[in-house]
Every structure is written in C-alpha cells, then in structure tokens.
Amino acid sequence: MPNSVTICNKAREMNVRVRQDAIVRSLRRNGTSTVDALAEEVGASRRTVLRDIGALRNEGYVIHSDVGRGGGLQLDPQSMQTRAKLSVPEVFALLISVAAMRAAGNLPFSELADAGLAKIEKALPSDKVKDLCAFLECLHIGQLSPLQNLSGMGKMDPDLLGAFEAAFLGRHFIRFDYRDAKERKTERQVEPQAMLILPPLWYLVGWDPARDDFRHFRMDRISSPEAVLTTSFRRRHVPFEDDVCPYSELHPELRSSHSC
Amino acid sequence: MPNSVTICNKAREMNVRVRQDAIVRSLRRNGTSTVDALAEEVGASRRTVLRDIGALRNEGYVIHSDVGRGGGLQLDPQSMQTRAKLSVPEVFALLISVAAMRAAGNLPFSELADAGLAKIEKALPSDKVKDLCAFLECLHIGQLSPLQNLSGMGKMDPDLLGAFEAAFLGRHFIRFDYRDAKERKTERQVEPQAMLILPPLWYLVGWDPARDDFRHFRMDRISSPEAVLTTSFRRRHVPFEDDVCPYSELHPELRSSHSC
DNA sequence: CAAATGGTGACAGAATTTGGCACTACTTCG
DNA sequence: CGAAGTAGTGCCAAATTCTGTCACCATTTG
C-alpha cells in the first residue's frame, strides 16, 4: 500500500513533474505568458514557477524571455520534447526499419529520423549500446535491382527479432524451420553471421556446420526460430559481393555518436 | 546559481532517479542479486531499495523474485527500457519513415516498430497528438509498381518537413521553387492537401489557386519551401485513383491508440 | 522617472523521502 | 522439525528536499 498508493497520489496531485508539464502546456497553448500568469494558472508561487522554468531549460527546453513592460516567456515550438519509454527490442526494430528504408533509397527526412534514433541510442544503457553496435556490424545492405521481383517478400515470423538478438549477441546458434523456393521444408541450425538486405528482400546469412559452408535464408521463409546455446560459435568473414557493404560503413554517424 | 547548481548536484549525487538507475544497472550486470547486496552497492538502506524496486515495477520493469535461501531478485531482460526525449519533428520523421516503409512492403518487425511509435505517440502532449492525426489523415499510400523508375528519387530539402508541418497544421499556404521534369523552374504557392507516396516517389498534392486545380509535386524537386499565412485555406476532397488509400485506413491501429 | 517584467538570494515552514525496527510469509538446508 | 536466509509490509521519527515569502537587482517601455 504505501509504495503504490504514494506513487499514485503523487501522479494525481500536484507533483513537480505535473506542474512543469502544466507550464509547458500553458506556454504552448497561449504562445506567450508572464511568470505571474503562469503562477496563478498552475497554482504555485512566482518563485516556484521561476525555479521550474530554470529546470525546464536545464532539461533542454528553449524558453525565450523578454524583460520589461510587454515582455513575457515564450516556448520555442521546436524544442517541444516527448519522453518515451521504449523496450530494447522496440529500439532494435525502429533502428533496423530506418536502416532498411535508407537502403531502399526512398527515405526523406532521414536526418531527423536519425537524430531521433541517436537520441534513443544515447538513452540506452551502455552495455546495450555495445550490443547494438555489434548487431549493426552484422547488418549488410545491397543495391536495389530494378529487375528483382518486388512483390515477393512475405511476412516474417514475429519471434525472429528476439531470436536474432539473442543469437547475435549471446553467440548462440539459431534453429528454425525453413521452407525453400520449391516448398521443401527442412530444419536448420546455423551460426548467424550477418543480416543482409537486398531490397525488398531480407536474408539471414548463417554458417551451417553440418554443410561446412555459408547459407542464405530468406527471412520470410523462416518459421519457429529459436536461439540455442553453443560453445563453438565464432565470427567468420562472410564473402559478400562487391556491391554489398555493411550498414555501419554507409552511415558511420550512428557509430560515432557513442563510444564503441 | 541555486537553481542550476542544485539540479547539477542532484544529478551528480544520489538522486532517486540515479539510485533506481543504479539498481537497474546492477541487476542487469550481475543477473541476480539480493536486496541487501543492492542496498550496500547503491549506498542506501534495505527499506529504500525495496521501495525503489516497487517503484520500478510500477514503471513497467519486470523484476522476478525468489524467496528463501538462495533466492534473490532478477530483472527480466526484455523489460529493459530506455527513456528518450524526442522533439516533435523527430517523432514526425520517424512516423512518416515507418509509414513509408510499410507502404513499400518490405517492413519486417513492423509490429515492434509500431509498438514503439505508439508509445512515443502516447508520450506526446495531447494537442500534438491531434496535430499528428490530422497530418496522418493527409498521408496517402499508393501501390508499388514494378515498372516504375526506382532510382529516380533524389534528396529532399531538409526544410520541407518543417514547412509541411506548419502548413498542414496551421492551415497555411506553402510556397516553394519547383523544378519540373523538363528542368523548368517555377515558383508555386499552393494549399497543401495531401502527401502521397507511390514508392519510391513522394508527392505533395496541393490545390493551386492560380490554376484553380490540384497539382502533384515530386518532393525532391521542391526547394526553399516556406509556410505562408493565409485566411482562405480549406480542406478539399482530393480525387485519388482507386489504388490509393489513406494511411490511416491501411493502419487504423495508430489512430485507435488515442482518443481523437 | 515609474511601472512592468524576468531573475536571484536567503530563510523558515511544509512536504517528501529515507532509515530503522518489528514483523510476516515463504523456501531451503541440515 | 527447526534454523537460517530471503522478499515484502507497516509504522514512525529523522533527514532531506521542496515551496512560499520577502527583499532586491537589471532591463525595457512609455
């Protein structure tokens, strides 16, 4: 009771966070406002509002102020921010999505999207950032060929991303059922070495120990994926064609935004 | 000084937030840990750590616990979350990016990406959500034709998104320089009515008052865009082809996730 | 100059957080 | 079974932080 109820009450009543949000909303709505007007609106003292303004500025909000008669506070609309809590798989999904679209060549506003993603990355715990880098190293992008069958990509198994993450990062095998172009079904167990995007088709490049060679698997033909613990896993040099390059090379800014 | 210094000190020293982050990091690193070990590590009392654990659970972290000898706390790795502060244009860019990729048909993990976006949307101030809905209403997606020239899309003007947002939401004209297929340059001033994606090409559909008709503009041929105040703006029914449908119709879940 | 406005410093009282203690419930080990 | 180790709860006083009040400064406008 004391834990949960305290927190609930806090959220309902006049929390610091709630008050600051109210200030931001008011500034957004009215365009410009004075400290005293804000104080009355949120039901706090002038001093407290000024303290909150300072805190908001520290958090990155850009609040212009004019002193003197006719002056007031004004929130820069571009500095409006939102706090979102994302799980790690969601971040991975967003990152891969944007990467894939850049690969397909039709990504406008990519600078903004990347800026957003970089912020999300920075908010990740540092160990997860390392994982993310390792994952991006495995992501390779090929050239879009106009001659390809563009409608051929089906739906992927929703469990695939989780299995990938576990397999790539934890150096596990990945086991799955595969349905090839001739509808033959086999069960595979490979070491995942890279992810390859040849728009609009996605492939898993894996080392198949049973066949002692690399194999490409179209992701939409994979079902029931599963990460399997292994001890013998090692990174191998994947022999890509000349027109395929790693995503991290195409867009180095993602890697330079953090330490690894 | 008191404002900024107080806040800085708080961030440096043992804030509630800092302590809870430390707990999460420790659990993540050690895999499993007891309350007492955590208390010693973060320099707080056992009681406080337990309160923090409760708060973290309230925030959505999944923390398993085993009682009895050999028990302890364990953080579910899938529940790791990141707090990112995104500006509104960044959210727009991410949303449009994912929308476009779904349109192109090669979006794996779209459920996860959407879940992430929905969370971001929920964190937006409510007035911005309304704007976002209005914007998505204007976004239309066409069928990908294999016969199209797929390498034709150039780079868009980075100011375009900002001008769009202002124009769509504030019901402004949008003014820009346009370079048509025959390299003729004209200056246009239109009421933006829709955004159309025929992968990989993007178009602005505008009502041109000077010509009293709709016009399509390829976005990569627009330069120096600018929102211009107007009083006569009104929404018009854009006569799309049969194979074009609004994005909000294709993916209604984005709209049902909030109130508007 | 007077009025209006943003901004700072200091301090006492209000509110919240923290620590300590006693206690319960459960599990494992001997 | 009993002892020990563990998560979890309730309560209260102490510590800490937040808030309001007041005095004051700097700048701009009329």
- Spell out a b/e string for A48-82, using b for 16 or more CB atoms within 10 Å of the CB, else e: ebebbbbbbeeeebebeeeeeeeebbbbebebbbb
Residue closest to B104 by CA, chosen among B13, B198, B12? B198
Pair B199, B143: CB distance under 8 Å: no
User: Does residue A6 register a pLDDT over 50?
Assistant: no
What is the pLDDT, as a whole number, of residue B147? 41
Q: Which residues contact A82 (CB under 8 A, 6 or more apart)?
A: B85, B86, B87, B88, B91, B120, B123, B124, B125, B128
SS3 B37: helix
ipTM value for the complex? 0.50
Please give the helix or strand (H or E) that residue B247 lies within, else none: helix B247-250
pLDDT of residue A35: 92
- The answer to whether residue B91 neighbours chain A at the CB level (below 8 Å) is yes
Mutation pick from B20, B25, B87, B251 vs chain A, by most beta carbons of A within 10 Å, is B87
Could you tell me which chain A residue has the CA closest to the CA of B116? A90
| DSSP tag of A19 | H
Cα dihedral: A56, A59, A61, A63 (round 10): 50
Q: How many Cβ atoms sit within 10 Å of the Cβ of residue B51?
A: 18
Q: Choose between B34 and B98: higher pLDDT.
A: B34
Residues 224-253 of A with CB under 8 A from B: none
Cα separation of A167 and B26, whole Å?
23
Q: What is the mean pLDDT of residues A227-231?
A: 67
Chain C nucleotides reached by a protein CB under 7 Å? 3-10, 16-21, 25-29
Look at residue B158 in the predicted model and tell me its pLDDT. Answer: 60
Do A125 and B151 make contact, defined as CB atoms within 8 angstroms? no
pLDDT at A244 over 80: no
List, in sequence order, every residue forming a beta bridge with B73; answer none if it has no partner.
B33, B65
CA–centroid distance for A109 within its chain: 16
Domain with CATH 1.10.10.10 in chain B: 2-79
Find residues 113-172 of chain B whose CB sits inside 8 Å of chain A.
113, 115-117, 119-120, 122-125, 127-128, 144, 146, 149-151, 153, 156, 158, 160-161
d(CA B8, CA B233): 48
Report the pLDDT value the prediction gives residue A151, as an integer from 0 to 100: 47
Least confidently predicted of A146-150, B6-10, B111-115: B6-10
Band (B120; pLDDT cuts 50, 70, 90): low
| Lowest mean pLDDT across A5-19, B29-43, B48-62 | A5-19
Q: Which of A3-7, A172-176, B120-124 has the highest mean pLDDT?
A: A172-176
Helices B126-137 and B160-170 sit at what angle, rounded to 10 degrees?
Answer: 100
Residue A164: its H or E element: helix A160-170
pLDDT of residue B166: 66
Task: Say yes or no for a CB contact (<8 Å) between A111 and B29.
Answer: no
Taking the C-alpha atoms of residue B150 and residue B106, their distance in angstroms, rounded to an integer, is: 15
Q: Kindly give the pairing relationship between strand A173-179 and strand A139-141.
A: unpaired
Q: How far is CA B90 from CA A68, A108, A112, B138, B257, in A?
A: 35, 12, 5, 18, 20
Burial (CB < 10 A; 0-12, 13-18, 19+), residue B233, is: middle
Pick out the nucleotide with least CA–C1' distance to A73. C6
> Could you tell me the pLDDT band of residue B209, with boundaries at 50, 70 and 90?
confident
Q: What is the pLDDT of residue B28?
A: 78
Whether residue A120 has pLDDT greater than 50: yes
Which residue, chain included where needed, has tokens 């899938």?
A: B78
- Range with lowest mean pLDDT among A86-100, B45-59, B243-257: B243-257
Decide which of B130 and A180 is more confident.
A180
Q: Tokens in use for B208? A: 């041109």
Chain B residue numbers with beta carbons less than 8 Å from the beta carbon of A97 are 97-98, 101, 107, 109-110, 113
Q: Are A134 and A254 in contact (CB under 8 A)?
A: no
Q: Return the H-helix or E-strand segment holding A121.
A: helix A110-123
Whether the CB of B70 is below 8 Å from some CB of chain A: the reply is: no
Residue A186 has which token pair?
Answer: 């086999």
Task: Round the average pLDDT of chain B to a whole number and report it.
Answer: 69
Say what the pLDDT of residue B139 is.
67
Q: What gap in Å lies between CA B86 and CA A119, rounded to an integer?
A: 7
Name the more confident of A70 and A101: A70
* Contact criterion met (CB below 8 Å) for B204 and B222: yes
For A75, list phi and psi in degrees, rounded to 5: -90, 125
% pLDDT > 70, chain B: 44
Residues engaging strand D (CB under 7 angstroms): A 1-3, 16, 19, 43-48, 51, 67-71; B 6, 10, 13, 33-36, 47, 50, 53-54, 65-73
Helix H or strand E encompassing A194: strand A185-198
Element housing B98 (H / E)? helix B88-104
State the pLDDT confidence band at B5, using cuts at 50, 70 and 90: very low
Residue B51 in this model has a pLDDT that exceeds 70: yes
- Distance in angstroms: CA B129, C1' D21: 39
Q: How high is the pLDDT of residue A84?
A: 62
CATH topology of domain A2-79: Arc Repressor Mutant, subunit A (1.10.10)
pLDDT tens, A22-71? 888 888 777 788 999 999 888 889 999 999 998 888 776 888 888 888 78
pLDDT at position B181: 75
> Residue B49: is its pLDDT beyond 90?
yes
Continuous segment of H or E residues that includes residue A16: helix A16-30
Look at A259 and A112; give whichever has higher pLDDT: A112
Is residue B110 within 8 A of residue A160, CB to CB? The reply is: no
d(CA B174, CA B167): 6
| Number of Cβ atoms within 10 Å of the Cβ of B128 | 19
More confident: A94 or A147: A94
pLDDT digits (tens, 9 = 90+) for B176-194: 888 877 888 888 888 887 7
